[in-house]
Amino acid sequence: MGTTYSKEEILAQQLQTAFEHLITEVVRKDTVFAFATKEQVSSILLYAKEKLGYISFVHLSCVDWLESGEFELVYIIWSPETKINLFVKTRLDRENPSMENTDMIWRQINTYQREIREMFGVEFPGFVGEKEFILEDWEDAPPMRRDFDTLEYVNDTFFEREGREDKQDVRERIAKRSGEEIPDFAKKYSRE
Amino acid sequence: MNTILIQILGALATILLAFIVGMFYGGAHRKVIARIQNRVGPPIYQNFIDVLKLYSKETSINHGVMQHMGPVFAITASITSLMFVPILTDGNWFSNLNFSGDLVFLVYMMVFGSLGMALGAGQTGNPNSAIGVTRGLSQMVGYEIPFVMAMVALMTQFHTTSITGMIAVQQQSGTWLMFSNPFAFMAAIMAMLGMFSYAPFDIVTAPAEVSSGPISEFGGKYLGMMMTSGSIFAFVKLALFVDIFMGGASNLVVLVIKTFALYMIPVLYGVISPRYRTEQAITYFWKWPLFFGFIAILYAAF
Amino acid sequence: MSFFDLKGLLRPLTGLSQFGKNPHTKRMDVLGQDTADRYRGFHYNDLNACIGCGNCSTICMNEAIDMVELAAEFNISQDKGNSGLRPRVDYGRCCWCALCVDVCPTGSLNLTKEYDYVSPDANSFLWTPGVDNPYGKDQLSFTSSVETSLMNFERIPMRELEGTERVKSFAEVVLGYNEEEARAEASRCISCSLCTEVCPDHMHIPEYINAIAKGNDDDALRIIYDNNPLPEMCGKVCTRRCEDVCAIAVRGEAVAIRWLKRYATERAQTSDLIKEIVNPEIQEANGYKVGIIGAGPSGLTAAYYLALRGFDVTVFEAKRFGGGMTMYGIPKYRLPMDSLDKQIGYLQKIGVKINFNTRVGTDITFDEIYKKHDAVFIGIGFEKPWKLGVEGEDLENSIPAVEYLRMINNEEIFDVGKKVVVIGGGNVAIDGARVAARHNAEVTILYRRRVEDMPADWEEIEGAEDEGVHIHPQAIPVRIIADESGKKVKAIEYIEAEMVAEEGARPRPVPIEGSNKIIEVDTIIGAIGQEADYSFISEEYVNKIELNRGRIVTNDQQQTSDAKIFAGGDAVNRTADAISAIADGFRAVKGIEAMLLKTKK
Amino acid sequence: MYNDKNAQTIVDYIQNFTRKNSLFMLAYGTGCGAIELPATLTSRYDAERLGVRGAATPRQADLLLITGYLSTKTLKRVIRVYEQMQDPKYVIGFGSCTINGGMYWDSYNTIKLLDKYIPVDVYINGCMPRPESVISGFQELKRLIAAGKADGAKKYKENLEWYRENQKKVLKNWPLVEYNW
Amino acid sequence: MREKSTTLYLGPQHPGITGNMMVKLQLEGDTIVKATTHVGYLHRAFEKLIERRNWMQSTTILCRFCVPEPDPPEAAFALAVEQIEGREVPERGKYLRSLVLELARIQSFMLWYAGQNGSAGLYTVGQWSVGDRNYVLDLFEELTGGRIYHMYIWPGGVRRDIPEGFEDKVLHTMDYIEKRIDDYDRMMFDSAIFQKRAQGVGIISKEKAMEWGVVGAPLRGCGIGHDVRKDNPYDAYDKLDFQMGIFDGGDVWARAKVRQFEIRQSISMVRQIIQNLPKGDYLNKMPNPMKWTIPAGSAYGKVESVRGEFGFHVVSDGSDKPRRVHARGPAYAHGISLLEDILVGENLADVSFIMNSLGVCPPEIER
Residue A122 has pLDDT above 50, yes or no: yes
CB B54 within 8 A of CB B220: yes
Give the pLDDT confidence of E61-90 residue by residue, as tens digits. 888 888 888 888 888 888 888 888 888 888
What is the rounded (10 degree) CA torsion for B134, B140, B143, B147? Answer: -170
Give the pLDDT confidence of E23-55 residue by residue, as tens digits. 888 888 778 888 888 888 888 888 888 888 888
Residue D8 has pLDDT above 80, yes or no: no
Q: In chain D, which residues have their Cβ closer than 8 Å to the Cβ of C117?
A: 124-125, 133
CB D66 within 8 A of CB D104: no
Our CA-based measurement puts residue D129 at a distance from the nearest CA of chain A, in whole angstroms, of: 20
Report the residue from D27, D31, D39 with minimal CB separation from E134.
Answer: D39
D112 DSSP 8-state letter: S
Residue E178 has pLDDT above 60, yes or no: yes
Give the pLDDT confidence of A40-59 residue by residue, as tens digits. 888 888 888 888 888 888 88
Q: How far is CA C402 from the centre of its chain?
A: 22
Q: Beta partners for C505?
A: C502
Q: In chain C, which residues have their Cβ closer than 8 Å to the Cβ of A169?
A: 54, 67
CB B245 within 8 A of CB B170: no
What is the rounded (10 degree) CA torsion for E176, E181, E187, E190? Answer: -130
CB A157 within 8 A of CB D168: no
Verify A-C touch: 3 or more CB pairs within 8 A. yes
CATH 3.50.50.60 fits C281-383+533-601, yes or no: yes
What is the rounded (10 degree) CA torsion for B105, B108, B114, B118? Answer: -130
Check if C247 contacts E (Cβ < 8 Å).
no
Q: Which residue of C has its CA nearest to D91?
A: C120
Considering the domain boundaries, does residue A126 fall inside one?
Answer: yes
Query: Tell me, what CATH number does E243's domain have?
Result: 1.10.645.10
How many structural domains are present in chain A?
1
Taking an 8 Å cut-off on Cβ atoms, the answer to whether C69 and A168 are in contact is: yes
Taking an 8 Å cut-off on Cβ atoms, the answer to whether A108 and E47 are in contact is: no
Give the dihedral sign, CA C250/C251/C254/C255: negative
DSSP helix/strand/coil, C121 = coil
Integer Cα distance of B79 and B93 in angstroms: 16
**E71-85 and E55-62 helices, crossing angle to 10°:** 150
Integer Cα distance of D181 and E2 in angstroms: 35
Q: In chain C, which residues have their Cβ closer than 8 Å to the Cβ of E285?
A: 150, 152
Q: In chain B, which residues have their Cβ closer than 8 Å to the Cβ of E127?
A: 37-39
Nearest to B68 by CA among B17, B32, B119: B119
- Residue of E291, E294, E325 to mutate, interface with C, max C Cβ within 10 Å: E291
Our CA-based measurement puts residue E233 at a distance from the nearest CA of chain B, in whole angstroms, of: 38
* Amino acid, single-letter form, for residue C596: L
Report the residue from B40, B41, B268 with minimal CB separation from C16.
Answer: B268
Q: In chain B, which residues have their Cβ closer than 8 Å to the Cβ of C26?
A: none
Considering the domain boundaries, does residue A61 fall inside one?
Answer: yes
Beta strand C398-400 with C523-526: parallel, antiparallel or unpaired? parallel
Considering the domain boundaries, does residue A115 fall inside one?
Answer: yes
Average of per-residue pLDDT across A20-41: 83
Considering the domain boundaries, does residue D177 fall inside one?
Answer: no
Q: Which residue of B has its CA nearest to C16?
A: B36
* Amino acid, single-letter form, for residue B190: M
Verify A-B touch: 3 or more CB pairs within 8 A. no
Integer Cα distance of D142 and D25 in angstroms: 13
Integer Cα distance of C300 and A142 in angstroms: 57
* Amino acid, single-letter form, for residue B93: W
With an 8 Å Cβ cutoff, the interface of chain E facing chain B consists of 1, 6-9, 14-16, 27, 29-30, 117-124, 127-128, 131, 187-188, 191, 193-194, 196-197, 347-353
Classify D115 in phi/psi space as left (phi over 0), alpha (psi -120 to 50) or beta: alpha
Our CA-based measurement puts residue D40 at a distance from the nearest CA of chain C, in whole angstroms, of: 10
Taking an 8 Å cut-off on Cβ atoms, the answer to whether E39 and A64 are in contact is: no
C neighbours by CB contacts (3+ pairs under 8 Å): A, B, D, E
Q: Could you tell me which CATH number the domain at C34-139 has?
A: 3.30.70.3270
Check if C59 contacts E (Cβ < 8 Å).
yes
CB A8 within 8 A of CB A84: yes
Residues 7-46 of E with CB under 8 A from A: 36, 39-40, 43, 45
DSSP helix/strand/coil, C48 = coil
What is the rounded (10 degree) CA torsion for C392, C398, C403, C405? Answer: -150
Q: How many CA atoms lie within 13 A of A157 on its CB side?
A: 25
Name the class of domain C156-279: mainly alpha
Q: In chain A, which residues have their Cβ closer than 8 Å to the Cβ of E48?
A: 143-144, 148, 150
Taking an 8 Å cut-off on Cβ atoms, the answer to whether C24 and D121 are in contact is: no
* Peptide bond just before E330 cis, omega within 30 deg: no
Which residues of chain C carry a pLDDT beneath 50? Answer: 1-2, 601
Q: Could you tell me which CATH number the domain at C386-531 has?
A: 3.50.50.60
D neighbours by CB contacts (3+ pairs under 8 Å): A, B, C, E
Integer Cα distance of E193 and E125 in angstroms: 14
Taking an 8 Å cut-off on Cβ atoms, the answer to whether A150 and E40 are in contact is: no
Q: In chain E, which residues have their Cβ closer than 8 Å to the Cβ of D28?
A: 12-13, 20
Give the pLDDT confidence of D100-123 residue by residue, as tens digits. 888 888 888 888 888 888 888 888
- Residue of A148, A154, A162 to mutate, interface with D, max D Cβ within 10 Å: A154
Check if B137 contacts C (Cβ < 8 Å).
no
Residue A56's domain comprises 7-162
Question: Rg (Cα) of chain A, in Å, rounded?
Answer: 23
Average of per-residue pLDDT across B75-83: 83
Integer Cα distance of B114 and B132 in angstroms: 11
* Peptide bond just before A125 cis, omega within 30 deg: no
B neighbours by CB contacts (3+ pairs under 8 Å): C, D, E
For C107, other C-beta atoms within 10 Å of its C-beta total: 18
For E7, other C-beta atoms within 10 Å of its C-beta total: 11
CB A74 within 8 A of CB A60: yes
Q: How far is CA C567 from the centre of its chain?
A: 23
Q: Beta partners for C517?
A: C494
Q: In chain A, which residues have their Cβ closer than 8 Å to the Cβ of E319?
A: none
**CB contacts < 8 A (A, D):** 45
Report the residue from C126, C197, C223 with minimal CB separation from A177.
Answer: C197
Taking an 8 Å cut-off on Cβ atoms, the answer to whether D49 and B39 are in contact is: yes
Integer Cα distance of B8 and A4 in angstroms: 101
Residue A71 has pLDDT above 60, yes or no: yes
DSSP helix/strand/coil, C552 = strand
Integer Cα distance of A137 and A146 in angstroms: 20
Considering the domain boundaries, does residue D42 fall inside one?
Answer: yes
Contacting residues for A51 by C-beta, under 8 A, at least 6 apart: A18
Integer Cα distance of C424 and C362 in angstroms: 33
Nearest to D77 by CA among D26, D135, D1: D26
The length of chain D in residues reads 181
- Residue of C4, C6, C25 to mutate, interface with B, max B Cβ within 10 Å: C25
Question: pLDDT at position C198, please?
Answer: 83
Report the residue from E44, E67, E128 with minimal CB separation from D107.
Answer: E44
Taking an 8 Å cut-off on Cβ atoms, the answer to whether C196 and A190 are in contact is: no
Taking an 8 Å cut-off on Cβ atoms, the answer to whether E41 and D69 are in contact is: no
With an 8 Å Cβ cutoff, the interface of chain D facing chain A consists of 72-73, 76, 99-101, 105-109, 111-113, 116, 166, 169-174
* Amino acid, single-letter form, for residue E192: A
Give the dihedral sign, CA D39/D42/D45/D48: positive
Integer Cα distance of E102 and E277 in angstroms: 14
Question: pLDDT at position C2, please?
Answer: 46
Taking an 8 Å cut-off on Cβ atoms, the answer to whether E27 and B131 are in contact is: yes
DSSP helix/strand/coil, C87 = strand
Check if C18 contacts D (Cβ < 8 Å).
no
Query: Tell me, what CATH number does A58's domain have?
Result: 3.30.460.80
SS (H, E, C) D33-92: HHHHHHHHHCCCCCHHHHCEEEECCHHHCCEEEECCCCEHHHHHHHHHHHHHCCCCCEEE
A neighbours by CB contacts (3+ pairs under 8 Å): C, D, E
Integer Cα distance of B229 and B73 in angstroms: 9
Integer Cα distance of C475 and C492 in angstroms: 11
> pLDDT-derived band of residue B100, with 50, 70 and 90 as boundaries?
low
Contacting residues for E294 by C-beta, under 8 A, at least 6 apart: E55, E81, E84, E85, E316, E318, E322
CB A87 within 8 A of CB E300: yes
Nearest to C564 by CA among C373, C380, C379: C373
Q: Rounded to a whole number, what is the distance in angstroms from the first to the last CA of chain D?
A: 32
| Domain limits, chain C | 34-139, 156-279, 281-383+533-601, 386-531
Q: How far is CA E289 from the centre of its chain?
A: 28
Residue E341's domain comprises 5-366
Integer Cα distance of A74 and D178 in angstroms: 47
Our CA-based measurement puts residue D14 at a distance from the nearest CA of chain E, in whole angstroms, of: 31
Integer Cα distance of E271 and E266 in angstroms: 9
Integer Cα distance of E6 and D156 in angstroms: 35
Residue D181 has pLDDT above 60, yes or no: no
Question: pLDDT at position E1, please?
Answer: 41
Our CA-based measurement puts residue E335 at a distance from the nearest CA of chain D, in whole angstroms, of: 17
Q: In chain B, which residues have their Cβ closer than 8 Å to the Cβ of D87?
A: 57-58, 60
Question: pLDDT at position B90, please?
Answer: 67
Considering the domain boundaries, does residue A167 fall inside one?
Answer: no
Nearest to E297 by CA among E314, E283, E311, E310: E314
Integer Cα distance of C207 and A184 in angstroms: 11
How many structural domains are present in chain B?
1
